Structure 1
Amino acid sequence: MPGDLQQAASRQAPRSRRSVLSLFAPQYRAATIGVVAAMTLFAFEGMAVATVMPVVAMEFDGLGLYAWAFSAYVALSLVGMVVSGTWCDRDGPRRAMWVGLWVFAGGAVVAGVAWSMPVLIAARGLQGLGGGALIVATYVLIARAFPEDLRPKAFSLLAAAWVVPAIVGPLIAAWLTETLSWRFAFWLVPFVLVLPALLLRKILREHDGGTGERGRSGRIVPALVTAAGLTLAMASFMRPAGLPLWVDLLGLGVGLLMLAYGVRVLLPAGAFRLRRGLPMTVLMRGLLAGAFFGAEAFIPLALVEQRGFTVTMAGLVLSVSALGWWVGSYTQSRIPESTDRSSTVRIGALVMATGIASLPLCLVPSVPAVVCAVSYFIASVGMGLCFPSIAVQTLRLSPVDEQGTNSAALQISDAILSSLALGILGAIHAAAVASGGATTTTYDVLWWLAAGVGIVAAVLAARMKVVARTPAPHAS
């Protein structure tokens, strides 16, 4: 009889849960609003910085260091991600979220007072440290605050949180740049921080707590080594003036060795051997991030330099990204949670690669400028299909006490491969600048290389699926 009652209860559970599976149901409302507010801050800063960076680089005569403003953020975010993942598993997401928010805001203030390109790059690294902690804590909060069936919708709502900042952020940043100074785009960040900080106080207390074990604190040293290796590799890609080729090659080799050491600890075993399941799922995040964000970093610069766009016009092109990302994310949220996500990621990767491959049309003088927005929108739809699906698959394959670690691994994969992509693409761009200036062909090559990485990701997506092995028949 107890077994029958237990089975009956398990059959009734799905019906009772379906009746309340809404992100804005009373038991989930506070978490939903708090997470969306935090992601809105993140989105506003990202869109504003991408809009003003061409002006900043030109003012500091630092076009050759343009990619570093993005790469430094990503490299230092590695450390924030690992520390945040460790804290989340051991103590819960509250401390990681608070530290991430305030360090992120502090980096923005430093960027606003920067007097040279190296100082701005250092400030962006500080922002990356806080941003890495913030995004991992957000993922863990989603895992704890929402049931498994609601997580696809929660990640879809994260994408929706980018829509308003993507429209308003570039406009505000461009207006501030053209009427006052680009510095105000950074100085606004602490003020935008206030609302999510207030909204998250209660919900973080409710979902705090962890294993209490120090367990994975040994991952911090590999994270530092990985960040240093990534920085050294990117510096070698950029070929500092006056250094012979053999020094650059030596630095690249040492940097890659440091990366190899770090990823053995920070990513699931077998990730770079393309092992099925969780390792391939985590690696897929990095491949797609490298392709998309590597291409995205050069869109405003190409439009300002080659098509004569104002900062405002280039920023408006960036604003379509959030809408496209939300369309893709909303589409994946309609897929049943139990459905394997490898096919969704494969389709999304192909859509993303198609959009990026068509970006060179933007620089053809006879082609209307609106084509750039269309291409970028298509690529963003593909990413909206992929990123939430990868997050859902990762949390599904993760034990509760490893959700922080594996959420951090997702972000680390993103950071490493997008940094390497930015380093390689930035080296090509810097070489073109040193040879007399970047041309339309320069940007065409950058975007086609990024599209090629997207196609490779589409081919590998099938390995995200865990193939169940059929047990051998028993001898009669």
Structure 2
Amino acid sequence: MDGGSARLLDRAHRLTTSGLVLLVTFVAFEAMAVGTAMPTAVAELHGLAWYAWPFSAFLVAQVVGMVVGGDLGDRRGARVALPWGVAAFAAGLLVAGLAGNMAVFVAGRAVQGFGGGVISVVLYVVAGQAYAPRLRPRLFGAISAAWVLPALVGPVVAGLLTTHASWRWVFLGLLPLIALSLGLVLPAVRALPATGSGLKSSAARRWWALLAGVGIAGLQYAGQRRDLLALAIAVAGVAALLAGLRPLLPAGTGRAARGLPAVVACRGLLAGAFFGMDALLPLTLTEVHGLSPTAVGIPLTAGAVGWAAASHLQGRFPSVARERLLRAGFALLALGLAGTALAAVPALGGWPAYGTWAIAGLGMGLGMPALGVLLLDLSPEHRRGADSAALQIADVTSSALCIGLAGVLVAAATAGALSLPAAVLVSIAVFTLLALVGVRLSGRAGARVPQPGAAEGATTLSAS
């Protein structure tokens, strides 16, 4: 074990590091498994035309959960926010696993997403509180590396369960592991000093988050209607989305202004491009090529392993400018996405995705930890909950929009408006373009400039 790893696991950090990594590991099992099981689940529940909604419901609810998690993290500390987040996540697993129709299944995914949003923000709060800046690249590398075991076995286990038992066990089987993860991480969180401000918050930011989520859902629903009413719904959806996001994100995020706004904008581009295709890939391999759930899980595993490997690699070079790693990550993601277009060609059997999605994963492994470090470098301690929430909100909003776009195209293919391979190719073209935009904008994320507008665009949670 090298010196950097020993510092992460020394006496002062051992309990906290172990708790964070274990929590991420168990939650990662669900994240890796659900994509493999989803085509079978929606088919059994007679909801193929609504394939994107379980993903979108999870992500939309995450936006609200992130605001709530940032609120609790800033006001009362991680010791309060974390148990609530894990409990909601577990409740969502239970509802989704027992669902008898598509509506209940989507509702369960929404509850699960709310809990996941709380958890994701609390992890950043703990990282900023418990670790010095020089240890943070290592920490984010270790957290990303916690996806290795789930990446190796999660999709395969999910495929085997779906094939030989039921897709429901992909959700229900995780409940004991989630309970175990809470029992392991809670002592570590309680050992941290109480730093919450204790100030009273208002519900304003939560309502803005809900409004943004309604906007995302409206846009997706409008895209699936394809009639005159759809235009009015789409306009209302755009208005709701923009109105909801404006108070939640740093001023200048839309134009990727230098510093913190660019970090948040790049996170949205990176996540949207990757997760849009990550959700679409299993359906492509299942419907276009007829692959089994077990075989469908293999490229997802390759992508996650690439992600974890690159995350570990970037942690070994803390002196390298994070914006350079971010640019390299976007470039690899664009390359992987473009190559994955071959998976939409029926004659090729889908096998190219087994290699190309690993390249996309390498890009995520460089880009995601770099953005986490840049956020903590630019965010003062009293705002880390709010700024972490803004980062995560950009992530899930962009992911939901990209997955929604793919869902609209899949619905159009289901209705006979175009072929499924064509729908996949159009989606990939959009996602690749987003990654290329990220290559161009990544240099702005490293600028160390004051962010006076951030206080206006993403007001501190304690004051909101």
Shorter-chain TM-score range = over 0.9
1:159 deviates by 1.2
1:369 deviates by 5.0
Q: 406, 413, 421: which is aligned to 1:440?
A: 421
Structure 2: gaps spanning 5 or more residues: 451-464
SS at match of 2:197: coil
Alignment partner, residue 373 of structure 1: 354
Alignment partner, residue 212 of structure 2: 226
Whether 1:68 and 2:49 are equivalent positions in the alignment is no
Whether 1:419 and 2:400 are equivalent positions in the alignment is yes
1:196 deviates by 1.5
Looking at structure 2, the residues matched to 430 and 133 of structure 1 have their Cα atoms a distance apart, in angstroms, of 31
> Residue by residue, what CA displacement relative to the aligned partner does 1:98-128 show, whole Å, maximum 9, x if unpaired?
1111110100110011111121111111111
SS at match of 2:166: coil
Q: Evaluate the alpha carbon distance shift between residue 51 and residue 468 of structure 1 in structure 2; reply closer, same or farther with a 3 A threshold.
A: closer
Whether 1:253 and 2:235 are equivalent positions in the alignment is yes
Looking at structure 1, the residues matched to 272 and 156 of structure 2 have their Cα atoms a distance apart, in angstroms, of 26
Matching of residues 335-354 of structure 1 within 5 Å: 335-336=317-318, 339-354=320-335
The residue identity in structure 1 corresponding to 2:354 is: A
1:75 deviates by 0.4
Alignment partner, residue 80 of structure 2: 95
Q: CA RMSD in A?
A: 1.9
Alignment partner, residue 14 of structure 1: none
Alignment partner, residue 198 of structure 1: 183
Alignment partner, residue 50 of structure 1: 35
Q: Is the 8 A contact 2:327 2:443 kept in 1?
A: yes
Q: Is the 8 A contact 1:325 1:385 kept in 2?
A: yes
1:467 deviates by 6.0
> Residue by residue, what CA displacement relative to the aligned partner does 1:118-169 show, whole Å, maximum 9, x if unpaired?
2111111111111000111111111112111111111111111111111211
Q: Is the 8 A contact 2:67 2:205 kept in 1?
A: yes
Looking at structure 1, the residues matched to 201 and 99 of structure 2 have their Cα atoms a distance apart, in angstroms, of 39
Task: Give the length in aligned residue pairs.
Answer: 447
Whether 1:305 and 2:287 are equivalent positions in the alignment is yes
Q: Evaluate the alpha carbon distance shift between residue 78 and residue 350 of structure 1 in structure 2; reply closer, same or farther with a 3 A threshold.
A: same
SS at match of 2:100: coil
1:267 deviates by 0.5
The residue identity in structure 1 corresponding to 2:165 is: L
Alignment partner, residue 176 of structure 1: 161
Matching of residues 386-401 of structure 1 within 5 Å: 386-401=367-382
Q: Which moved more, 1:351-360 or 1:199-208?
A: 199-208
Highest CA radius of gyration, 1 or 2?
1
1:41 deviates by 1.7
1:367 deviates by 4.0
SS at match of 1:274: coil
Structure 1: gaps spanning 5 or more residues: 1-17, 470-476
The residue identity in structure 1 corresponding to 2:30 is: E
Looking at structure 2, the residues matched to 138 and 253 of structure 1 have their Cα atoms a distance apart, in angstroms, of 36
Whether 1:270 and 2:249 are equivalent positions in the alignment is no
SS at match of 1:270: coil
Q: Is the 8 A contact 1:62 1:117 kept in 2?
A: yes
TM-score by length of 1: 0.90
Q: 146, 149, 159: which is aligned to 2:134?
A: 149
Q: Evaluate the alpha carbon distance shift between residue 25 and residue 82 of structure 1 in structure 2; reply closer, same or farther with a 3 A threshold.
A: same
Looking at structure 2, the residues matched to 19 and 355 of structure 1 have their Cα atoms a distance apart, in angstroms, of 31
Whether 1:129 and 2:114 are equivalent positions in the alignment is yes
Alignment partner, residue 95 of structure 2: 110
Looking at structure 2, the residues matched to 215 and 62 of structure 1 have their Cα atoms a distance apart, in angstroms, of 39
TM-score by length of 2: 0.92
Alignment partner, residue 84 of structure 1: 69
Alignment partner, residue 22 of structure 2: 37
Q: Is the 8 A contact 1:90 1:211 kept in 2?
A: yes
Whether 1:296 and 2:278 are equivalent positions in the alignment is yes
Q: Evaluate the alpha carbon distance shift between residue 78 and residue 179 of structure 1 in structure 2; reply closer, same or farther with a 3 A threshold.
A: same
The residue identity in structure 2 corresponding to 1:279 is: P
Q: Is the 8 A contact 1:159 1:326 kept in 2?
A: yes
Looking at structure 2, the residues matched to 369 and 325 of structure 1 have their Cα atoms a distance apart, in angstroms, of 21
1:436 deviates by 6.5
Looking at structure 1, the residues matched to 85 and 115 of structure 2 have their Cα atoms a distance apart, in angstroms, of 4
Q: 302, 314, 317: which is aligned to 1:320?
A: 302
Alignment partner, residue 15 of structure 1: none
Whether 1:457 and 2:438 are equivalent positions in the alignment is yes
